[in-house]
Amino acid sequence: MEIIGIGNAGKNICSMFENKGYKAYTIDSSAGSSIVFPKVKTMEEAEAVELDLSKIKNSIESEEILFVLSGAGIISGACLKILEEFKDKQINIIYIEPDSSFLTNQNKIREKVVRNVLQEFARSGLFNKIWIVSNKNISNLSTDISIGNYFEKINEKIVDIWHLMQYYIGTNPIMGNIEEPKEINRIATFGIYDLDNDIEKKFYDMSEIREKHFYFTFSEDTLAETGRVLQIVSSKLNKVRENEFQEISHAFFNSGYTVDKVYVLYYTNHIQGETNRLFVS
């Protein structure tokens, strides 16, 4: 898998992916980007820009690409045109929802437009999946985020959860019943489950969740305990189902650490939010 970051947020996150060994490219107006996007004032102007993406297209070797972007920036107006250039690849998207309290009214509208359009395209099957994460949610569930390191820490947590879950998705569990999510459920997010307090801490406040996949990553000591752990997990899994139509699955892994953590992947086919306008200048 190779990474393409669109806009400033995408560029900053790409640099963190590179630190983990991923091959990454960036499309932004700042110097040093793989493709320097021209300065524009509106999303319509951004959409009209004709970019030469051959530098990236000729370098990509993987059949799977992860795009990373936020919808509040003007450059996001060009995202559909950019994605179209890679339609022969399997496309996944990490979409970052900024904290709306820090946005102007115009930026709020831009963000909703881009988020909803990308979800519609994902649901139609043009993209494999869109993973939505919220800066506000991530900030609220973290204790090490300050004004000075706000974006750095949030970006770090996005990269860490993606990288970690890619590892567990590709690893055979000790036991469990997790399968691929249903093909229709292409809108997703991440979460952490507080095992002691039975609290799900989502990276995005997803509604109408169709599937919850629980990844129990336990220490060797916990995995070696007899009876008690399975009974506790079974009891907790019975509580997390929100309705009779929601599917719950789980798997156990050796964490390789002395602490126990539980991660959750959420899937739905339900569009998160609505909009009535396509582009706002």
pLDDT tier at 281, thresholds 50, 70, 90: very low
Give me the domain span that covers residue 81: 2-166
Q: Is residue 87 part of a domain?
A: yes
Instruction: Yes or no: say if 96 and 135 are a contact pair by the CB < 8 Å rule.
Output: yes
Domain count, the chain: 2
Q: What is the pTM of this model?
A: 0.93
- Confidence tier at 226 by pLDDT (50, 70, 90): confident
User: Are 125 and 238 within one domain?
Assistant: no
Res 278: pLDDT: 39
Nearest Cα residue to 13 out of 67, 60, 65, 87: 67
Q: Which band of pLDDT confidence, cut at 50, 70 and 90, is reported for residue 104? A: confident
What pLDDT score was predicted for residue 110?
A: 87
At 208-217, the pLDDT tens digits run 999 999 999 9
Q: Does one domain contain both 71 and 101? A: yes
In a domain, 277, yes or no: no
**Do both 130 and 71 map to the same domain?**
yes
Q: Are residues 70 and 162 both part of a single domain?
A: yes
Q: Is the pLDDT of residue 279 over 70?
A: no
161, pLDDT greater than 90 = yes
- Position 173 in a domain: no
